[in-house]
Structure 1
Amino acid sequence: MARDSELVAVFIDADNTLWDTDAVFAGAQRALLRAVESRVGILTPQADRLLFVRAIDQALAERHHAGLRYPPRLLVRATELALRGVQANDAARAVWNGGKDYLLSDGDLAAIEERFFGDLAKPPRIRQGVTEGLSQLKDSGCLLLIVTEGAKAKVERNADVLELTRFFDRIIEGRKTPDLYRRMLSLTGAPARAFMIGDQLDRDIAPAKAVGLETIYFPGGFRPRWAPDEASVRPDHLISSFDQVPGIVFDAVAGTAGAQVRHI
C-alpha cells in the first residue's frame, strides 16, 4: 500500500491504559488472601495486605514460563506457605517444585481458584479522560486501533461494557514486539504519523520506539519489579490523564492538510 501523507494512526493498549485492570486484580488478590487466611486460620502479619500477596505473585511470575498468566492455584498454595512463615521467593519455589504438605484441601483449593476467576471477570472502570480523549481523536479523523496481549474476546467485552467500541477501527491481539508494530504499520498503510499509547514501558513503549512510533506513556497503578524505568526507555511523552493525548497528537501533526480515517 502506498504511504498516506495525511493518515494519522493511534495504537492504544487496552488493560491499564483504557481501563483499570489492576484494580480488578487487586480486588481478586485481596479476596484470595482472605479466603486462604480463613481456611488455614492464620492472618498475615503484614499491614499492607496487597503488598503481601503481590510479593508472592511476582515471585511466581518470575519463575513461570507464562509470566503473570501462571495458574492461580499456584498463588493459592504459595499464599498458604507464606502465611505459615515461608518467605515469598521460597514459597514460590516450593510450589513450583512440588512435594509440600498443605493445610488446604484440594476442594478448598479448587473453590478459591474458581472464586478468583470469577473476581477477575468483573468489569473494570474506565481510566481518567479516556472517553473525552478518544472522542477528540475520532472526531479529528484519526485511525484508532487497540493493540493488546490480552484475550481479544475479553478486550471486546470490556470495550462494549464501557461503551468504547464505537471509537475503534480494529482490535489486534499479539505479542508486542517490534515485528508486531511493523506489521501494524503495514496493515494501516504505513501512515506518515503513528503513535503508541500504553502503560508498560517494556511491552508498549520500548518496542514501539524501536520502529519509529511516537510513544505516549500513561502509567498505571502497578509496575512489576522487573520492569525497566523511564530513564532507560525514554518515552516521548508522559501523561497523567488520557485526555492529554489529543493535544500531543494534534501538535505533532500541525501543518498537515488533515487526517483521514481508513477502515481496515
Structure 2
Amino acid sequence: MKAHLFTDADNTLWDTDTVFATAQLEMLREVEKLTGRTAPEDEDQGLAFLRTIDQRIATEHPDHLRYPPALLAQGLALVLEGERVEGAVARVTAPNLAPTNAFEPAQSRFLDAIRRLPPLRKGVREGLLAVTRARIPVMIVTEERAERCRKFATEHQLDGLIDEIISVRKTHEAYANLKRKAGPGRCFMVGDQMDRDIVAAVAAGFSTFYFPGGFAPYWASELDSSETTRIDRFDAIVPEILAAARIRHSN
C-alpha cells in the first residue's frame, strides 16, 4: 500500500511566526514614531495589540492574511490616534480606499524583514529524512509563492527531501484534486492552521496531523479538532505514515 505525505511550510516546517513577530513589532515601533502615539509598552502586549488589528483586516480583506502590509500600518496609525478597531478596519479595507504613500516605507521594511530565514521547527529534518528513506513522496502545499518556499527549503538543505512544491489556495476542492492526482494510497497532511491545513484536508479524505505553532487566528479557535492527531514535533508523524505504507520503521 502506498502513502503520500503533504505538508504545509510556514509555521509547520519552519517557524515563520518568530520572523513575522519581529517584523510586526518593528512596524509598530515605526508607526508609533509617525503618529507620536504609543501602544502598550510590553512587547507581548504590543504584539497582541497589533495582531488584533491584523486579524480583523485579514477577516475582511479578499486576500485574507496575504493583504498588503501597508494596510496594517495604516490601521495601526488610525487606532493609535483614537479610532476604534472596527472603524479603522472598515476604512482600510474599503474598496474605495484612497492610496497613500505615507506607509510605503513601513511596508517595504516589513517585506524585507519577513524575507529572513526562519528556523526549522522541532523534528522536521528527522521526520523528512525518515519518510524520504522509505520512498514516500513528500509534497509541500503552501498558499505562499513557490519560489519563496523553495528558497527557504534550499537554505535549510531540504531540497533532496521534497519532491514537489505546490502553491494553491487551500480549499476542500484543492485537496480533493491533490488526492486524486496522488493516485492510490493513503494521503497525509501536516499543518499548523486548523481551517486551511486540517479541516479542508479532512473533508477531502486526508489523514491529518495538527502541529500548532506560535500563531493561531481567532477564527480557527472553535473548529473541531477531534478528527486530527495533534503532535508536538514534526517527526511524530513517522510511525503512522510508515505503518500505512507497510514499512517497518527501524532506528
Is TM (by shorter chain) over 0.5?
yes
From 8, 15, 24, the equivalent of 1:29 is 24
Provide the residue aligned with 2:59 in structure 1: 62
Deviation at 1:70, TM superposition (A): 1.4
Instruction: Tell me how far apart the structure 2 counterparts of residues 257 and 24 of structure 1 sit (CA, whole Å).
Output: 37
Instruction: Tell me how far apart the structure 1 counterparts of residues 133 and 97 of structure 2 sit (CA, whole Å).
Output: 58
Instruction: Tell me how far apart the structure 2 counterparts of residues 71 and 134 of structure 1 sit (CA, whole Å).
Output: 33
Provide the residue aligned with 1:213 in structure 2: 206
Is 1:202–2:199 an aligned residue pair? no
Query: In 1, are the aligned partners of 2:11 and 2:17 still within 8 Å (CA)?
Result: yes
Instruction: Tell me how far apart the structure 1 counterparts of residues 91 and 177 of structure 2 sit (CA, whole Å).
Output: 41
Deviation at 1:209, TM superposition (A): 1.2
Gaps of 5+ in 1: 1-5, 260-264
Instruction: Tell me how far apart the structure 1 counterparts of residues 57 and 237 of structure 2 sit (CA, whole Å).
Output: 35
Deviation at 1:127, TM superposition (A): 0.8
Deviation at 1:34, TM superposition (A): 0.5
Query: In 2, are the aligned partners of 1:46 and 1:52 still within 8 Å (CA)?
Result: no
Given the superposition, is the C-alpha separation of residues 91 and 248 from structure 1 closer, same or farther in structure 2, using an over 3 Å criterion? same
Give the aligned residue type for 1:128.
K
Regions of 4+ moved over 4 Å:
97-101
Instruction: Tell me how far apart the structure 1 counterparts of residues 59 and 41 of structure 2 sit (CA, whole Å).
Output: 22
Give the aligned residue type for 2:114.
L
From 232, 236, 252, the equivalent of 2:228 is 236
Deviation at 1:37, TM superposition (A): 0.9
Equivalenced residues, count = 247
Is 1:50–2:43 an aligned residue pair? no
Query: In 1, are the aligned partners of 2:176 and 2:205 still within 8 Å (CA)?
Result: no
Instruction: Tell me how far apart the structure 2 counterparts of residues 100 and 153 of structure 1 sit (CA, whole Å).
Output: 31
Gaps of 5+ in 2: none
| 1:126-141 equivalent positions in 2, closer than 5 A | 126-141=120-135
From 213, 223, 242, the equivalent of 2:216 is 223
Provide the residue aligned with 1:182 in structure 2: 176
| 1:1-264 equivalent positions in 2, closer than 5 A | 6-45=1-40, 47=42, 48-97=45-94, 108-191=102-185, 193-229=186-222, 232-253=224-245, 256=246
Percent of aligned pairs with the same amino acid = 37
Given the superposition, is the C-alpha separation of residues 252 and 229 from structure 1 closer, same or farther in structure 2, using an over 3 Å criterion? farther
Given the superposition, is the C-alpha separation of residues 139 and 73 from structure 1 closer, same or farther in structure 2, using an over 3 Å criterion? same
Taking only aligned residues, the RMSD between alpha carbons, in angstroms, comes to 2.4
SS in 2 for 1:226: helix
Deviation at 1:164, TM superposition (A): 1.1
Q: Deviations over 1:3-35 (max 9, x none)?
A: xxx321111111111011111111111000011
Instruction: Tell me how far apart the structure 1 counterparts of residues 248 and 182 of structure 2 sit (CA, whole Å).
Output: 17
Give the aligned residue type for 2:215.
F
- Give the structure with higher Rg (CA): 1
Deviation at 1:46, TM superposition (A): 5.7
Given the superposition, is the C-alpha separation of residues 44 and 98 from structure 1 closer, same or farther in structure 2, using an over 3 Å criterion? farther
Given the superposition, is the C-alpha separation of residues 132 and 86 from structure 1 closer, same or farther in structure 2, using an over 3 Å criterion? same
TM-score norm. by structure 2 comes to 0.90
Instruction: Tell me how far apart the structure 2 counterparts of residues 213 and 100 of structure 1 sit (CA, whole Å).
Output: 41
